[in-house]
Structure 1
Amino acid sequence: MSIPVSRSTIGRTLRYDRALDRPSAVEVPVEVPVNIVYGNLPYAVMMATPGDLDDFVAGFSLTEGIVRSLDDIRGVRVEEQADGFVVTVDLVAEALGRHLARRRSLSGRTSCGLCGVESLDQIPGASDTVAPAAPIAPVAIARALAGLDEHQPLHRLTRAVHAAAFCDPAGAILMAREDVGRHNALDKLIGACLRAGFNPADGFVVITSRCSFEMIEKAAIFGAGTLVAISAPTSLAIDRAHALGVSLVAVARRDAAVAFTHAPLPQREAIAS
């Protein structure tokens, strides 16, 4: 099933020094509700770009803690409805039992990370540290950033979506996914990498957004030892990266980047900087 991920609308260019220009066609990303259902029980409604939904639910199921591996998923069914999409995930009996034991209600928004969480101890997160990451040379980060544009066709068209990419140690991009939501883009990438059989220890992840703690948690659950973010991290993201053993590099530009964790600085000084 081919699902449009952008649509054309009409816009008028506003020039600050003169009147409106003539109207022209503008491509905008499609954003729709995606209802994720496990068995016959609705779990989440996420606002997302309706492409690569199989990848999305695979990555989302892993980073939400519903599955432990792709072996817990028996099948995925995507159904288009008048007001959005329903994606039904068929879990093996053991995984479904675990899910029912910890089921929670979640009403999603674009890129929302904690909708429906009622107390601090309900915040989902990685429980184990990742394996130590092999050092990533700065030139590999520069190579990944230089090649990112060609892996963002929807962003080139709309200038309105995020991307996440998995790169080999030299910085070559092996897989990339896009979405209106930054969390969704990372979940799609994780799902795509799982389905392709990539080993997260064999490379690093690049995201085009800011780095909040949920992005660190998702990277750690996936098993990625290094996360590179184009924008800045939050203090909690830095704390979690330290705790989970994730090498966090952010404010990444083509000429320089800032390493926030696993640098020879005490954690408090690293955060203050």
Structure 2
Amino acid sequence: MPNATRETSTTLWRDGRNTGPGSRRIPEEVAIALSYNGTTQAVMMATPLDLEDYGVGFSLSEGQVSTVDQIQEIDIAVFDEGIDIRLWVDEATETMLRDRRRRIAGPTGCGLCGIESLTEANRPTGRTEDDSRFQASALTAAQHAMYNHQKLNAETRAVHAAGLWRPDQGLVRVREDVGRHNALDKLVGATARAGESGAGGVVLLTSRVSVEMVQKSAVLGAAAIVAVSAPTALAVRTADAAGITLVALARDDGFEVFSHSHRIVQ
């Protein structure tokens, strides 16, 4: 398996002056194919880390499967040109995939690769009726806790993270990747593989919030999203329709709530 990071040589410039040679760890980015019963369905660029989680999470959030139980086996095959996540699904799922099969080539973090219509791009999400409440100060503390668990970013300063936090458990898990969508897919997969959902919890994001980030969080079943950057207008509309509390521009001195603000309390 390729390493997730690589040491590279640099030339340092400080205050407008060449100060000599240096070095830095940077994240790897490799082509990762997702194959179902021997046929490639998608090719993405991602960090070679937590690949089983990625395979399951991508399959769920992109609608390749409806439940983790439809995936019977996962194999990881490494080649010179990239990695193949080989998922083996049940017969009914294979038939469905065969009917809609295509090859998808996606750039880093692509979140809407392979859609076949404008309607599918704006696919509706289920609506959560979760009545959880979250203290404002706890959400700020949760963001700080996730920073301390971003091991790959601490090495490289070049990757995104997605985390799941619960009021009664704290930070449950964090996943990282060069692509923000990939990081969230890995979180979805890790949670599903643990036999859990995001119900009663908060998705923490180090990125902006586009519509597909809301759609993937809805698949996870989270009641709220907290992100460090701003959302798009479509992301706000989608979160509102899904019953998800969308918190963005989260900083040390506060944040802004864009939908379902009743869940945030002092």
The equivalences for 1:64-213 within 5 A come to 64-123=62-121, 125-169=123-167, 172-213=170-211
CA RMSD of aligned residues (A): 1.6
- Superposed displacement of residue 171, structure 1: 7.3
Find the counterpart in structure 2 of residue 14 from structure 1: 13
Find the counterpart in structure 2 of residue 52 from structure 1: 50
Structure 2 stretches lacking a partner, 5+ long:
none
**Residues 162 and 183 in structure 2, CA contact (< 8 A), matched pair in contact too:** yes
Q: Deviations over 1:130-168 (max 9, x none)?
A: 232411111221111111122101101000000000001
**Residues 48 and 184 in structure 1, CA contact (< 8 A), matched pair in contact too:** yes
Find the counterpart in structure 2 of residue 267 from structure 1: none
Quote the Cα distance in structure 1 between the aligned partners of 2:253 and 2:65.
39
The equivalences for 1:3-42 within 5 A come to 3-18=2-17, 20-42=18-40
Quote the Cα distance in structure 2 between the aligned partners of 1:236 and 1:103.
28
Where has structure 1 moved over 6 Å in runs of 4 or more?
none
Q: Give the partner amino acid of 1:61.
A: S
Q: Which has the higher strand share?
A: 2
Structure 1 stretches lacking a partner, 5+ long:
265-273
Paired residue secondary structure (1:202): coil
Task: Judge which range, 167-176 or 183-192, deviates more.
Answer: 167-176
Quote the Cα distance in structure 2 between the aligned partners of 1:160 and 1:262.
32
Quote the Cα distance in structure 1 between the aligned partners of 2:16 and 2:209.
37
Quote the Cα distance in structure 1 between the aligned partners of 2:197 and 2:124.
18
Paired residue secondary structure (2:196): coil
Q: Give the partner amino acid of 1:123.
A: A
The equivalences for 1:224-263 within 5 A come to 224-263=222-261
Q: Give the partner amino acid of 2:16.
A: D
**Residues 143 and 172 in structure 1, CA contact (< 8 A), matched pair in contact too:** no
With over 3 angstroms needed to count, the CA separation of the structure-2 counterparts of 1:124 and 1:47, relative to structure 1, is farther
Task: Judge which range, 95-104 or 28-37, deviates more.
Answer: 95-104
Quote the Cα distance in structure 2 between the aligned partners of 1:192 and 1:115.
22
TM-score, normalization by structure 2: 0.93
- Superposed displacement of residue 125, structure 1: 3.5
With over 3 angstroms needed to count, the CA separation of the structure-2 counterparts of 1:263 and 1:174, relative to structure 1, is closer
- Superposed displacement of residue 17, structure 1: 3.3
**How many pairs does the alignment contain?**
262
Overall identity of the aligned pairs, in %: 40
Q: Deviations over 1:216-239 (max 9, x none)?
A: 000111211111111100000001
**Residues 43 and 103 in structure 2, CA contact (< 8 A), matched pair in contact too:** no
- Superposed displacement of residue 202, structure 1: 3.0
Quote the Cα distance in structure 1 between the aligned partners of 2:145 and 2:71.
33
Q: Deviations over 1:225-256 (max 9, x none)?
A: 11111110000000100111111011011221
Task: Judge which range, 173-182 or 198-207, deviates more.
Answer: 198-207
